[in-house]
Structure 1
Amino acid sequence: MAPSEKKASLDGGKAATNTSGSINLRHDDAPAFYIDPKVEARLRLKIDFMVVPTVSLLYLFCFIDRANIGNAKIAGFEKDLGLTGYDYNALLSIFYISYIIFEIPSNIACKYFGPGWWLPGISLGFGAISLATAFVDNFAQAAGVRFLLGMFEAGMLPGISYYLSRFYRRSELTFRLALFIVMAPMAGAFGGLLASGILTLDRVGSVTSWRMIFVVEGIITCGLALISFLTLTDRPASARWLTPEEREMAEARVRAERVGQTAVLDHMDKKKLWLGMTSPVTLSTSLIFLLNNVTVQGLAFFAPTIVRTIYPRETLVMQQLYTVPPYVVGGFFTLLLPLISWKIDRRQIFLIASAPLTMVGYIMFLASVNPSVRYGATFLIAASLFCLGPISNGQVSANVVSDTARSSAIGLNVMMGNVGGLISTWSFLPTDAPNYHIGNGLNLATSGGVLIVATLVLFWMNYDNKKRDGRNSEEELAGMTVEEVQDLDWKHPDFRWKP
């Protein structure tokens, strides 16, 4: 976009422009930003094709490398390693301990080093660890590689979410998050297909049985990580595949939505990191994502086990294949609901609407032992679960202002989600088999919690916005420097919560 195509106005009708022609707005600016919708649509589509495919493939194999232990479990993993009692649950928990510890530090490192280097680097790391899992022989070795896997994978979901927030407007972001988070249910579907295909082989090199799953999938992940070093770029300004005019437009359209900010990428400081994590919407949405993830991760790790209890007489390959259809349905709704969210620029109502269908699914699990009813329940649950990944991350991103606050808000949301993942590792206990009343009851309770919290927060957001409408921003900002105004973030009097 040429400079003549940009419009910005202050109260006095003036704009401050730097030598490169980009617009720098002071804290008292009221920008009237305009881009030709057709020009912007072409730019957005270009970004979609250049950014989303790479991060989607990386996240697909991130989730596969995490959840393939569930496929290996029913193919002899437990027996060969001598696991008994709660050993399998403990292995799942060890992964989440490191995942949670490194979640926020990893996202801060992603901002510091740049997503173009950080995301490929940690992908190469967890691909190598997945490959190493094929050669473990006992619980201690398996625990070690699962801890390292959690350490490397911790930065993927928050890192990619933060990375995409550099390229997309608030309303656009949720659907783009869905385009890569849909790989979570697709990993369940594709992982089941891939595992069943791998298990039909006699051997891969010197390894056999379940070990082949880790070898093949680990090698694929490492290959994708090496390619992504060449394809990912830190931000629009460094994107070689954009023209100078497109780079300027890409940054300007994101900057236009950030109240009181003069740059898309601000300098990192502790105050903005803290504001990102302590935003009321960040805290409440993080709790919702925690409750949701108890079910999401439980389904990922235990779906093969649950299917085996429903269809115990089927072959191992067929049991793997039965896990595929519910994930396909889940993937469809993971794209559909965020697409609608993008068009209407709303997210909170989808957090609310996701809960009832999940609750119905777990009521069916608790009320019936009929295989058809229980298998049907997995479709209802999958259809409503996975969409909360993109919608919750889109919501916390939309309700902070600066790039730094966005990185910590997303980091906290995903970290809390993985606290839910840690809880999920103990939701389906061997002593509770085959009907798993404890696990199903827990998931019914968490989905009910999502419904209550999300509804209360929607009422609060509308209430607080009305209070903010009565504030005099000119009086509150009088005498403040540009830096002080930028540090206000969501506390800026002109900021409004975006439900």
Structure 2
Amino acid sequence: MRKVLERAQPVARDLPPAPKTATLSSASTRCLTKYGATGSMDTEYGLEIRADIDQNHDGDRMSGSMEQNASIETIDRAAEHHLRTKIDLRLVPIMCMLYLFCFIDRANVGNAKIAGLDRDLGMKGYDYNMILTSFYITFILSEIPALLLCKRIGPRLFLPLSTVLFGICSIATAFVTNTLQACIVRALLGIFEAGMLPGIAYALSRWYTRAELAFRLSLYIVTAPIAGAFGGLLASAILTLPHFGTLTSWRMIFAIEGLLTIVAGLLALLLLTDRPSTAPWLTPSEKALCSLRLLRERPTGPRTLLDAPTPSKFLRGSLLNPLTLSVALVFLLDAVTVQALAFFLPTVVKSLFPPSTSQTTLQLLTVPPYLAGAAATVLLPLLSWRLDHRQGLFLIPAALVVTGYAMFVFSRDTSVRYAAAFLAAGSFALGPLTNAQVCANCVSDTAKNAGLAVNGMMAAVGGLVGTWAFLPWDAPGYAVGNGLNLGTGAGIFVVSAGTWWWMGWDNGRREREEEEAGRGEWFRGLSAEEREGLEWRHPGFRWKP
């Protein structure tokens, strides 16, 4: 078997050319050599380690300790590029498809509303907002249990099963006859959709490095604004049909889109793979390379890709991790804007144009702002990949949101307010950036799972607030709703900038304490397992902006 991971003795003539060698950062080097790993460091080619893949743990464990005089593990850059491309082509399209239908089935109620949903169900007052709220109540309550279930049964089963179930809920919505029934079906939809966004992020974190992850997340999260655009186009096309079976008008939207969702879920069940070590489409050497790529970013954590969940790891990855909580607050504020756009952009667009404007035209006018959001969602994470940086990039969508909603608040010109929707759609970019930032600052698989669950739950709280952002009595200017979103944009900017400063300050503090304290003092009385379980409290850990 040709080895992608080439083993060479530490002799100058055997060393591969430097450009093809993956080296660890100086921070990782200090962590590995000072805190429990005794490997020696070759200054040009990286850490000397023994990194055989232990097949007794499904290929997910790096065996042995890092020892002096061991052989040098190097990564061939061309092989890594080939592997990354192979993973991209195999996984990302499936995740995009699943999240596309997830968001369509969540947001199609907005398209159905302007097609007569509210009239046919006899809605009045806050009935529409109650329907949206029923979704988010169960969504919030189900977020953490859903991610725990995802870890327990694996993303391969969890994601397709969830997709089929919320597709069924979409079909059921086509048959509701009153507001109460609509609330019940939307509540069930919230249960089954709760784990999708963080679940896909969690699944991809098993395959991609810290720098690579944000861009890959963007490729499926971008389907949210695309779903808004595609959903508007699809709804327009569906509404041209005279009937679908016995269903007509807005009922056809839910039925047809629900059927497509179920087909997507069944297809994903055939194609998805849980993790590198069980992928039949990877060679043994490619599986080994997958493990090494991820484990080299864990100088202070467990040497297993899939660790056993414990309460301490779960808490340290979520409620006790200050970075996770800060990022989750940013995502909460962002979700207010994102969900408000998803649910109310058709309504806001309708308020901007004459009453004589046709339904088809109104549906099509919602498409361009979503496309602008899609562009921002991909371009900023692409920049994040190149820079291996996320926190500072939070400030760009925040500035776009503030500018856009300031235009909504202070202008009554139709063209200006429609242009403001394009800027506000920049808020979609924070989805991949925040989830990638949580993964970058959680060490173990359990901590990532917990951190993503909390991040998703907080976003759901923001989504719940967003359902009450635009109220009937606030029409047509929606001063309260636009003012609320202006405030959330400003909040994102302040929290993101403050956290960025704190990360640098705390890393400096850790450096100083590292120089002052001896290694023995840090770990007195701790077993090796307890040292690995320290997560971000490990003295060798550094925050990654």
TM-score with structure 2 length normalisation? 0.88
Whether 2:408 is the aligned partner of 1:362: answer: no
Aligned residue pairs, count: 498
Query: Residue 506 of structure 2 aligns to a residue in which SS?
Result: helix
Structure 2 counterpart of 1:252, one-letter code:
L
Whether 2:6 is the aligned partner of 1:5: answer: yes
Whether 2:231 is the aligned partner of 1:191: answer: yes
Q: Distance in 2 between matches of 1:143 and 1:330?
A: 29
Aligned twin of 1:371: 414
CA RMSD of the aligned region, Å? 1.9
Aligned twin of 1:325: 368
Checking the alignment, whether the CA contact within 8 Å between 2:103 and 2:227 is kept in structure 1 is: yes
Checking the alignment, whether the CA contact within 8 Å between 2:469 and 2:480 is kept in structure 1 is: yes
Q: 1:140 to 1:448 in 2, by over 3 A?
A: same
Aligned twin of 2:474: 432
Q: Distance in 1 between matches of 2:76 and 2:543?
A: 27
Whether 2:328 is the aligned partner of 1:286: answer: yes
Aligned twin of 1:88: 128
Residue deviations 1:292-322 (CA, integer Å, cap 9, x gap): 1100000000010001001133100000000
Aligned twin of 1:69: 109
Aligned partner (choices 422, 425, 429) of residue 464 of structure 2? 422
Q: Distance in 1 between matches of 2:416 and 2:164?
A: 41
Whether 2:200 is the aligned partner of 1:157: answer: no
Q: Distance in 2 between matches of 1:369 and 1:28?
A: 69
Query: Residue 75 of structure 2 aligns to a residue in which SS?
Result: coil
Aligned partner (choices 257, 265, 268) of residue 306 of structure 2? 265
Checking the alignment, whether the CA contact within 8 Å between 1:296 and 1:386 is kept in structure 2 is: yes
Q: Distance in 2 between matches of 1:361 and 1:292?
A: 14
Aligned twin of 1:451: 493
Q: 1:3 to 1:353 in 2, by over 3 A?
A: closer
Whether 2:531 is the aligned partner of 1:489: answer: no
Whether 2:52 is the aligned partner of 1:24: answer: no
Aligned twin of 1:474: 519
Checking the alignment, whether the CA contact within 8 Å between 1:428 and 1:438 is kept in structure 2 is: yes
Q: Distance in 2 between matches of 1:18 and 1:46?
A: 21
Query: Residue 233 of structure 1 aligns to a residue in which SS?
Result: coil
Instruction: State the 1:37 CA deviation.
Output: 1.1
351-360 or 474-483: bigger deviation:
474-483
4-13 or 396-405: bigger deviation:
4-13
Structure 1 runs not aligned, ≥5 long: none
Aligned twin of 1:402: 444
Structure 2 runs not aligned, ≥5 long: 9-22, 24-36, 41-47
Checking the alignment, whether the CA contact within 8 Å between 1:393 and 1:410 is kept in structure 2 is: yes
Instruction: State the 1:333 CA deviation.
Output: 1.2
Structure 2 counterpart of 1:307, one-letter code:
V
Q: 1:142 to 1:222 in 2, by over 3 A?
A: same
Checking the alignment, whether the CA contact within 8 Å between 1:28 and 1:260 is kept in structure 2 is: no
Residue deviations 1:6-45 (CA, integer Å, cap 9, x gap): 5798435563746659742548999975311111010000
- 1:195-206 map, 5 Å: 195-206=235-246
Residue deviations 1:95-129 (CA, integer Å, cap 9, x gap): 00000000011001000000000100010000000
Structure 2 counterpart of 1:496, one-letter code:
R
Instruction: State the 1:248 CA deviation.
Output: 1.2
Q: Distance in 1 between matches of 2:313 and 2:170?
A: 36
Whether 2:145 is the aligned partner of 1:133: answer: no
Of the two, which has the highest radius of gyration? 2
Query: Residue 495 of structure 1 aligns to a residue in which SS?
Result: coil
Whether 2:96 is the aligned partner of 1:56: answer: yes
Checking the alignment, whether the CA contact within 8 Å between 2:96 and 2:221 is kept in structure 1 is: yes
Structure 1 counterpart of 2:338, one-letter code:
V
Whether 2:184 is the aligned partner of 1:144: answer: yes
TM-score with structure 1 length normalisation? 0.96
Instruction: State the 1:188 CA deviation.
Output: 0.6
Q: Distance in 2 between matches of 1:405 and 1:120?
A: 23
Checking the alignment, whether the CA contact within 8 Å between 1:126 and 1:152 is kept in structure 2 is: yes
